[in-house]
Chains A and B, each alone.
Chain A
Amino acid sequence: MIQRNPANPIIKPEDTRPSHNRYRVRGTFNPGAVKFGDETILLLRVSEDCLPREGYVAVPYYRFEAGKGFAEILEVKMDDPDVQLKDTRGVVHKGKDYLSTISHIRLARSRDGIHFTVDDKPFIYPCNESECFGVEDARVTKIDDLYYINYTVVSGDGFATALATTQDFINIEQKGIIFAPQNKDVSIFPEKVNGKYCALHRPNNEGFGLPSIWYSESPDLIHWGNHKCILRPRNMIWEEMKIGGGAAPIKTSEGWLEIYHGKGRDQMYSLFPVLLDLEDPSVVLKRAKEPILFPIESYETEGFFPNVVFSNGIIHEDNGRILIYYGACDETVCLAETSIDMLLSIL
Chain B
Amino acid sequence: MSGKFRHDIVHRWEGNPVIALDDLTFTTNNIYSAAAVKKNGEYILLVTMEDLEGKTSIHLAKSEDGYHFDVEETSFMTSSTDDSFRAFETMGVREARITFMEERYYIVYLGVGHHGFVLCLAVTDDFRTVKRLGVISEPETKAGALFASKINGKYARLERPKAGDRIWMSYSNDLLTWGESDVVISPRSGFWDSDLIGCAFTPIEIEEGWLLGYYGIKNTSSGPITRLGAAILDRENPCKVIARSNIPIISPRKDYERIGDMTNVVMSSGAILEEDILKIYYAAADNCLCLGTTKLADIVKTCIESTKEF
Chain A residues packing against B (C-beta within 8 Å): 95, 130, 156-160, 176-183, 201, 203-209, 212, 214, 217-220, 222-227, 229
Q: Are A207 and B180 in contact (CB under 8 A)?
A: no
Q: Which residues of A contact B135 (CB under 8 A)?
A: 225-227
Q: Are B164 and A157 in contact (CB under 8 A)?
A: yes
The 5 closest A-B pairs by CB, nearest first: A207-B116, A158-B163, A225-B177, A157-B164, A181-B163
| Interchain CB contact (< 8 A) of B114 among A209, A224, A226 | A209
The yes or no answer to B118 lying at the interface (CB within 8 A) is yes
Q: Are A217 and B115 in contact (CB under 8 A)?
A: no
Q: Give Cα A182 to B168, complex, Å.
A: 12
The yes or no answer to B183 lying at the interface (CB within 8 A) is yes
Within 8 A of A (CB), among B81-131: 87, 113-118
| Interchain CB contact (< 8 A) of A209 among B115, B117, B161, B162 | B115
Q: Give Cα A229 to B135, complex, Å.
A: 12
| Interchain CB contact (< 8 A) of A224 among B116, B117, B161, B178 | B178
Q: Give Cα A222 to B180, complex, Å.
A: 7
Stretch at the interface among B69-77, B136-144, B275-283, B292-300: B136-144
Q: Are A222 and B163 in contact (CB under 8 A)?
A: no
Min CB distance, B62 to chain A, in Å?
33
Q: Give Cα A223 to B134, complex, Å.
A: 14
The yes or no answer to B176 lying at the interface (CB within 8 A) is yes
Given known contacts A180-B170, A223-B173, A226-B135, A207 and B140 CB-to-CB distance under 8 angstroms: yes
Q: Are A208 and B163 in contact (CB under 8 A)?
A: no
Q: Which residues of A contact B172 (CB under 8 A)?
A: 223, 225
Q: Are B116 and A206 in contact (CB under 8 A)?
A: yes
| Interchain CB contact (< 8 A) of A205 among B116, B176, B179 | B116
Within 8 A of A (CB), among B19-53: none
Contact-residue bracket for chain B: 35 or more
Chain B residues packing against A (C-beta within 8 Å): 87, 113-118, 134-141, 159, 161-164, 166, 168, 170-174, 176-183, 189
Q: Which residues of A contact B162 (CB under 8 A)?
A: 182, 204, 206
Q: Are A180 and B161 in contact (CB under 8 A)?
A: yes
Q: Are A176 and B189 in contact (CB under 8 A)?
A: no
- Sample of 16 more A-B contacts, CB < 8 Å, known A205-B115, A225-B176, A227-B118: A158-B161, A176-B179, A180-B161, A180-B181, A181-B163, A205-B116, A206-B140, A208-B115, A214-B138, A217-B177, A219-B173, A223-B171, A223-B178, A225-B174, A226-B177, A227-B139
Given known contacts A130-B183, A225-B178, A181 and B161 CB-to-CB distance under 8 angstroms: yes
Q: Which residues of B contact A156 (CB under 8 A)?
A: 164
Q: Which residues of A contact B113 (CB under 8 A)?
A: 207-208
Q: Are A227 and B137 in contact (CB under 8 A)?
A: yes
Q: Are B114 and A183 in contact (CB under 8 A)?
A: no
Min CB distance, A104 to chain B, in Å?
21
| Interchain CB contact (< 8 A) of B180 among A176, A208, A226 | A176
Q: Give Cα A157 to B168, complex, Å.
A: 10
Given known contacts A180-B168, A222-B180, A229 and B114 CB-to-CB distance under 8 angstroms: yes
Nearest A-chain residue to B174, judged by Cβ: A219
